[in-house]
Every structure is written in C-alpha cells, then in structure tokens.
Amino acid sequence: MANLIFLGPPGAGKGTQAEAIINELKIPQISTGDIIRAAIREGTALGKEFKSYTDAGKLVPDDLVNRMVDERLAQPDCKPGFLLDGFPRTVVQAEALDAMLARRGLKLDHVLLLEVADAVLLERITGRRSDPQTGRVYHVKFDPPPPEIADRLIQRSDDTEEVLRKRLEEYHAKTSPLIPYYDRAKLLRRIDGVGSMDTIRGRIFGVLRGK
Ligand code: AMP
C-alpha cells in the first residue's frame, strides 16, 4: 500500500520519474495535467475552459480539479495505492484531498518533493518535445530524438518560455505553501532533482524503502 504525492515545480521530472515508481509499486499515476490535456483534446466545453487556463500558465480552478481527482480515486485500480502527480497544487486542494482520503479511511505515506532551481527548469522545459505517435518525451539537448522522427515531434503549447515563467510564478505563489503544510504533517521527503535520471530514481527509491 503506497499513497504518494509527487510535488515539485513544472519540469522537475515528476512525469519521467513517476513511470519508474508506478511500474515498481504497481500503482496508478494520477496526473491532473494529463487528465486536463485529455479533456482539451476531446474539445468539450470543459476542455475549452481548461485550455484558457493552461495556455496562460495559470492554474485551473480548485473545485474543478478536486472533483476530477475525487472521481479518479473512486476507481478500483486505486485500491493498492496511487501516485498523485501535479495534485494538489494549492492549500485548498491539499485540504480537499485530506477530506477525500479521510472519507475513504486512507492516509498519505509520503510527499516526494523533487527540488530543482528555476534556471535549470527553464532549460529543461523549453527543450521538451513529445512524439504524438508514442507519447515518448524527448529533450532537444539532454535526450535528443532519433533524426528520422524529429519532424513529427511537438511542443506542448504551455512549454514556451513565456508561459513557463507564468507557471513558475504560480508554483511559487500557490503551490510552494504545500511544502510547510506537508512538513508539519511529517510527510515531506525532499529529493534533489538535479542529476541523471538513474541517480534521481535511486534517491526516490531510497526514500520509498525507508533508507
Ligand atoms: P502539468 O502537466 O502538471 O504541468 O499541468 C499542466 C497545466 O494543467 C497546469 O499549468 C495547470 O494549468 C493545469 N493543472 C494541472 N494540475 C492542476 C492542479 N492540480 N490544479 C490546477 N491546475 C492544474
């Protein structure tokens, strides 16, 4: 049983590292960003509303996100645990999550905080490209794609420098108060997010194994 939160600024590597954690622990990853992007792709009225926020680098209103997570946690695959990626992002969301878990008789085990300085994030995010055919994410400098697929790669519309600056502002203003929030609850585990993917994975598993 592992009920986990992945906390950290945009581009800290949460998505990449989440994959290793969910494969190892056999728990689902609940990424509110992915759920929101799926709604945008479907082109529903809600999706259009989401896009106006994500394209401006702003957070989607708490009540909408809280409802999505509550519905997702009700699904049977969350029985053995879950990894929340990109949620909660505000203290209001964290309080809503506490209530959702209490209602289900569940508790959090760890809040993993992946720490990376803003300057590093900027370089990482603006070079990020994904392959629409496989979903694989590359980096033009740190993890270059094979040349034959370079033409089909796309950049997330919110991965530009301008939008990223706004996302970082939102992170520092609204999400970083979660650090003292979970520290007080003795759930916060700080992880240095700078290094190779394997090194960071080792740090995360060290925490999960209680080392
Ligand atoms: P992410 O993929 O986690 O970086 O999320 C992309 C965008 O989706 C964010 O910039 C927000 O606009 C929106 N979003 C994702 N998760 C949340 C959340 N928990 N609360 C509010 N907005 C969110």
pLDDT at 211: 62
pLDDT tens digits, 143-188: 899 999 999 999 988 888 999 999 999 999 999 999 999 999 999 9
**Partners of 6 in beta bridges:** 85, 112
**What is the predicted pLDDT for the residue at 1?**
65
Q: Mark the ranges of the chain whose per-residue pLDDT is less than 50.
A: none
Q: What is the pLDDT of residue 16?
A: 87
Please state the pTM of the whole predicted model.
0.90
Which of 15, 196, 8 has the alpha carbon at shortest distance from 118?
A: 8
Residue 210 confidence (pLDDT) = 84
Q: Could you tell me which residues come within 8 angstroms of residue 117 by beta carbon, excluding any fewer than 6 positions away?
A: 194
Which one is catalytic: 37, 51, 124, 128? 128
Ligand 1 touching residue 96 (CB < 6 A):
no
156 is catalytic: yes
